[in-house]
Amino acid sequence: MTNPPLVLGIESSCDETGVAIVRGTELLSNEVASSVEAHARFGGVVPEVASRAHLEALVPTLTRAVATAGVALTDIDAVAVTAGPGLMGALVVGVSAAKMLAATLGKPLYGVNHLVGHVAVDILEHGSLPSPSLALLVSGGHTSLLLVHDITARIVTLGSTIDDAAGEAYDKVARVLGLPYPGGPVIDALAQDANPTAIHFPRGLTARHDLEQHRFDFSFSGLKTAVARWVELEQRAGRDIPVADVCASFQEAVADVLTAKTVAAATEYEVADVVLGGGVAANSRLRALLAERCAVAGLRLRYPSPELCTDNGAMIAVLGAAMLAAGLAPSAITLGADTALPAEIPLVA
């Protein structure tokens, strides 16, 4: 029996330079170099800083990925790369490197969608996705409910955020509370031993009149403002801010809305399988509450290990491998980066 194909995946859409190698759906290496510390003092990703960091990190990360996998570059059967969405200057570093590698090795190039990669990465740990599956994609830049018929070719967006993404709300609330960037992991940790019912924060787009127009859409900007206002009023009154309780209460509001809408969409579209993906999918409360509500609704739930939720090359490599396995035509060598690539386009021609 011949070995499944070896696929190299490159991710550089935001502040993580990721390079991974898979053999079919088996992960051989997954190297990530993060420039997060360079952005921390700015409270968010600075595009120019990210681009430069990708340029510096790409070759060393690639070298490590190849060494860890114990393969030679010439053994690679295909090269997959994030073609979008993301920051232009960051994306072009990965896309250029992937084009150069594919051209020199004489191997096919697959320019794939970062958002779809966040969903596809679960295949590495839990096997192929049942069709259809409902994906809740929650990251720093996106929050969407996707009906996934075929991860390589047919995805329908049922709803998405109309303002901030869930991860963005975490990062902004962290800033209000004087916590470091990125806020997600810090808030998650602080919330562990705190009271999620201490303060009632609003659940965006859940009122009856909002549900008519935005049944499966999300809004986190009002929640972020509500937290900021609450903190400001307490400070003005000269009271100490119960940071951990604010974290837990904010987190509860986010997890409540995300999980309620996911279960409602799965029920309405009669989808029995739910998959969680994206950086915020690492959140412990979101995972626990979604598991609880899916169980009550009779839905099967799957999610990747926390380290595979945040940006990495494995999600791109496994999606590329799926494209190859599906016999899809590779991308043109003139492939460009698309900063606003919609989730409906898993593969860029």
Residues making contact with ligand KG4 (CB under 6 A): 14, 139-141, 167, 170-171, 182-185, 188, 278-280, 282-283, 310-311
Residue 117 interacts with, from Zn ion, ligand KG4, none (CB under 5-8 Å by kind) = none
Using CB atoms within 10 A of its CB, is residue 297 exposed (0-12), middle (13-18) or buried (19+)?
middle
Shortest spacing between CB 115 and ligand KG4, in angstroms: 8
Contact 269, 156 (CB under 8 A): no
Helix (H, G, I), strand (E, B) or coil at 272: coil
Sole residue written with tokens 């909002």? 210
Residue 346 interacts with, from Zn ion, ligand KG4, none (CB under 5-8 Å by kind) = none
Q: Of 171 and 273, which has the nearer Cβ to ligand KG4?
A: 171
Shortest spacing between CB 121 and ligand KG4, in angstroms: 10
Residue 103 CA to residue 110 CA, distance in Å, equals 12
Residue 181 CA to residue 216 CA, distance in Å, equals 29
Shortest spacing between CB 114 and Zn ion, in angstroms: 6
Shortest spacing between CB 35 and ligand KG4, in angstroms: 12
Q: Of 51 and 139, which has the nearer Cβ to Zn ion?
A: 139
Q: Of 45 and 223, which has the nearer Cβ to Zn ion?
A: 45
Q: Of 6 and 341, which has the nearer Cβ to ligand KG4?
A: 341
Shortest spacing between CB 191 and Zn ion, in angstroms: 22
Residue 167 interacts with, from ligand KG4, Zn ion, none (CB under 5-8 Å by kind) = ligand KG4
Residue 218 interacts with, from Zn ion, ligand KG4, none (CB under 5-8 Å by kind) = none
Structure tokens at 9: 């995946």
Residue 184 interacts with, from ligand KG4, Zn ion, none (CB under 5-8 Å by kind) = ligand KG4
Contact 174, 181 (CB under 8 A): yes
Site residues (CB under 5 A) for Zn ion? 139, 311
Residue 310 interacts with, from Zn ion, ligand KG4, none (CB under 5-8 Å by kind) = ligand KG4
Residue 204 interacts with, from Zn ion, ligand KG4, none (CB under 5-8 Å by kind) = none
Residues 6+ apart with CB under 8 A from 344: 155, 156, 157
Residue 51 CA to residue 32 CA, distance in Å, equals 15
Q: How far is CA 18 from the centre of its chain?
A: 13
Shortest spacing between CB 12 and Zn ion, in angstroms: 11
Shortest spacing between CB 171 and ligand KG4, in angstroms: 5
Residue at 284: amino acid letter: S
Q: Of 6 and 179, which has the nearer Cβ to ligand KG4?
A: 179
Q: Of 133 and 139, which has the nearer Cβ to ligand KG4?
A: 139
* Of 44, 38, 315, residue with least CA distance to 183: 44
Shortest spacing between CB 311 and Zn ion, in angstroms: 4
Residue 170 interacts with, from ligand KG4, Zn ion, none (CB under 5-8 Å by kind) = ligand KG4
Count the helix, strand and coil residues of the chain and give each as a percent rounded to the nearest 5. Answer: 45, 20, 35
Residue 201 CA to residue 199 CA, distance in Å, equals 6
Residue 155 CA to residue 149 CA, distance in Å, equals 6
Tally Cβ neighbours within 10 Å of residue 19: 35
Q: Of 252 and 311, which has the nearer Cβ to Zn ion?
A: 311
DSSP 17-56: EEEEEEETTEEEEEEEEE-HHHHHTTTS--HHHHHHHHHH
Shortest spacing between CB 167 and ligand KG4, in angstroms: 3
Q: Of 31 and 171, which has the nearer Cβ to ligand KG4?
A: 171
Q: Of 15 and 217, which has the nearer Cβ to Zn ion?
A: 15
Rounded to 5 degrees, what are φ and ψ at 142?
A: -140, 150
